[in-house]
């Protein structure tokens, strides 16, 4: 069990994940993981006969956590990842605003899943893992709305695999959601807090 004084590290550059942890009153450091996510993802897709995207999200989250844990063996490290799946197709983050437009046109009027995973490691040892799969129903928005959305939104939406930030104007893209709100934002905080308590990182 981790000591209460153990350093907690979030192995992520995600502003959303950092904000969620900070708002929950958790004392932590944020260190971006030096992990080749694209290569790991491509290897998984090439070698796995039956695609289990929850397994992929967990593998990517653990890869990030382990890459930081090696440099900070005494720290408890959280790694997280999020995938978007629609119609059995795995989406990647849009590289520019034109790609964001194509993402949103492809998702318009359809339901998709976000596969959101985290792992907790210390000194290379896996302590906990968790995955959530909320479903989001995007509405059949007009082309005019899409133009306005992309004009008002800045390139922060490129940090989201779906090209939307639900805590902002992106909320207007949807009819409804089914699942944990924080998982949609990128970190299942309720389960994470439970795991951190069980590991002695935060108080019971």
Candidate list 34, 81, 156, 175, residue with the active-site label: 81
Angle at alpha carbon of residue 96, lines to 104 and 54, rounded to 5°: 60
SS3 at position 178:
strand
Give the torsion through C-alpha atoms of 88, 93, 98, 102, to 10 deg.
10
CA 114, CA 172: separation in Å to the nearest integer? 17
Question: Annotated catalytic, 49?
Answer: no
CB 187 within 8 A of CB 129: no
E strand or H helix at 40, and its extent? helix 37-47
Q: Give the residue numbers marked as catalytic.
A: 81
């Amino acid at each position: 069990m981790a000591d209460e004084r153990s350093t907690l590290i979030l192995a992520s550059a995600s502003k959303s994940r950092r904000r969620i942890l900070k708002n929950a009153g958790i004392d932590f450091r944020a260190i971006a993981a030096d992990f080749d996510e694209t290569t790991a993802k491509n290897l998984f897709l090439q070698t796995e006969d039956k695609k289990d995207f929850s397994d992929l999200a967990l593998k990517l989250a653990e890869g990030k956590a382990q890459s930081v844990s090696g440099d900070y063996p005494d720290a408890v490290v959280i790694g997280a990842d999020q995938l978007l799946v629609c119609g059995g197709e795995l989406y990647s983050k849009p590289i520019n605003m034109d790609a964001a437009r194509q993402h949103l046109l492809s998702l318009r009027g359809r339901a998709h899943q976000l596969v959101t995973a985290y792992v907790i490691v210390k000194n290379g040892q896996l302590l906990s893992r968790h995955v959530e799969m909320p479903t989001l129903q995007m509405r059949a928005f007009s082309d005019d709305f899409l133009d306005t959305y992309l004009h008002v939104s800045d390139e922060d939406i490129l940090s989201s695999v779906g090209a939307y930030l639900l805590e902002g104007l992106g909320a207007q893209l949807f009819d409804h959601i089914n699942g944990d709100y924080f998982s949609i934002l990128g970190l299942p905080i309720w389960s994470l807090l439970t795991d951190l308590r069980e590991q002695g990182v935060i108080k019971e």
